[in-house]
Amino acid sequence: MILAKSTGFHYHRHLLQSSFPSSYNFSLNQLQRAITKRISLSAQYKARTNHISSSAIVAPKMVKAIRVHEIGGPEVLKWEDVEIGEPKDGEIRVKNKAIGLNFIDVYFRKGVYKASAIPFTPGMEAVGVVTAVGPGLTGREVGDVVAYAGTPMGAYAEEQILPAEKVVTVPRSIDPSVAASVLLKGMTAQFLVRQCFKVEKGHTVLIHAAAGGVGSLLCQWANALGATVIGTVSTKEKATQAKDDGCHHAIIYSEEDFVNRVNEITSGKGVEVVYDSVGKDTFQGSLSCLKLRGYMVSFGQSSGTPDPVPLSALATKSLFLTRPTLMQYTVTRDELLQTAGEVFANVAAGVLKVRVNHTYPLSQAAQAHADLESRKTSGSVVLIPDGC
């Protein structure tokens, strides 16, 4: 397990409460906006010069990747050779050093979310080194260490082609495995506590799967913002981790009724917000835990899709219900840079500790999926390309 700096996150609370929390973050964003501008200018240049073409015949570049030819269990993840090609206008080729495993990869593999084509290469988060830039692109250079989280899917590969506008620079102080463990999950935590429902000092929040990849970061961030944090977990070991991450009350929901416990802890008042990524098994109970005018933030379904909710279920307490996704909170390049910048700044400052609790060779992605789905993992899981 790699732990990024773990002490002092209370001291750094102020860092979390401004849009650009530190001079480091501000300069990172300035730098990345300059890069964006140059990427855009170079694309315009290319549009004016794209009549120039090369007649040289280049052998197709092959890399190893995980491919899915049919939806199903972990066994459908196959280790194969794929052709990667060269980056085109606005694109870069990246040799991955570490790939973040996320529950969304399971949803695509099982067909809960539909991939746009089959076969496909899963994966939505990676950190790597730029090995080629598209023609005319001047905003990126070979050797840059970059990270991406979200679309396009295809991170379970030794190398991949990415739109330059989708990647962000990884600060030198952050190890690639840590960055690949925190970008998608950390940006998710950021939009949940800082944008979707803004957690403030004095709030009481309920976080399900508090020892998971997103859950671990959510607990730390909500605690640093001054909230009383209640977390649910399935085992004693996970409860210990959640407490270490700033959870004031860890409920073992596989043994205790979490609704009763939240009632006891809040003296019947309920919580301001529930961050519910478990879905089917917890959704109804989560609604019961909310106080009047509370926020139900349903952002995942690791136990299955929740049943449909009648409006009358919200009317009894004038509740708010939202089903947000990271992609809709990082639509523009500015939104992406601000969200990623805040995450990296808080990791670099020690406000967030990143638990890289499990690493697997990329070729063993099937085992990693099996372990994530069977609740054997905690914190973040990364896949390391074989030979790295």
8 Å CB contact between 206 and 286: yes
Concatenate the DSSP letters of all residues of 315-359 into one string. Answer: HTTT-EEE---HHHHS-SHHHHHHHHHHHHHHHHTTSS--EEEEE
270 binds ligand NAP (CB under 6 A): no
Interface pattern 333-372 for ligand NAP (x via CB under 6 A): ---------------------------------------x
Residue list 367-386, contact with ligand NAP (CB under 6 A): 372-373, 375, 377
234 conformational bin, left if phi > 0, alpha if psi -120 to 50, beta if neither: alpha
Minimum CB distance to ligand NAP smaller for 96 or for 302: 302
Minimum CB distance to ligand NAP smaller for 176 or for 300: 300
Residue list 194-213, contact with ligand NAP (CB under 6 A): 209, 211-213
Residue 235 CA: distances (Å) to CA of 206, 242, 281, 364: 17, 11, 16, 26
Task: Out of 123, 154, 215, 294, name the contact with ligand NAP by CB under 6 A.
Answer: 215
Task: Out of 88, 325, 334, 386, name the contact with ligand NAP by CB under 6 A.
Answer: 325
Minimum CB distance to ligand NAP smaller for 31 or for 327: 327
**Torsional sign, CA 40, 43, 47, 49:** positive
Residue list 65-104, contact with ligand NAP (CB under 6 A): 102-104
Minimum CB distance to ligand NAP smaller for 25 or for 241: 241
What is d(CA 124, CA 122) in angstroms, rounded to the nearest whole number?
7
Q: Which amino acid is at 241?
A: Q
8 Å CB contact between 383 and 361: yes
Omega of the bond leading into 119 within 30 degrees of 0 (cis): yes
Interacting residues toward ligand NAP by CB under 6 A: 102-104, 185, 188, 209, 211-215, 233-234, 238, 277-278, 281, 299-303, 324-326, 372-373, 375, 377
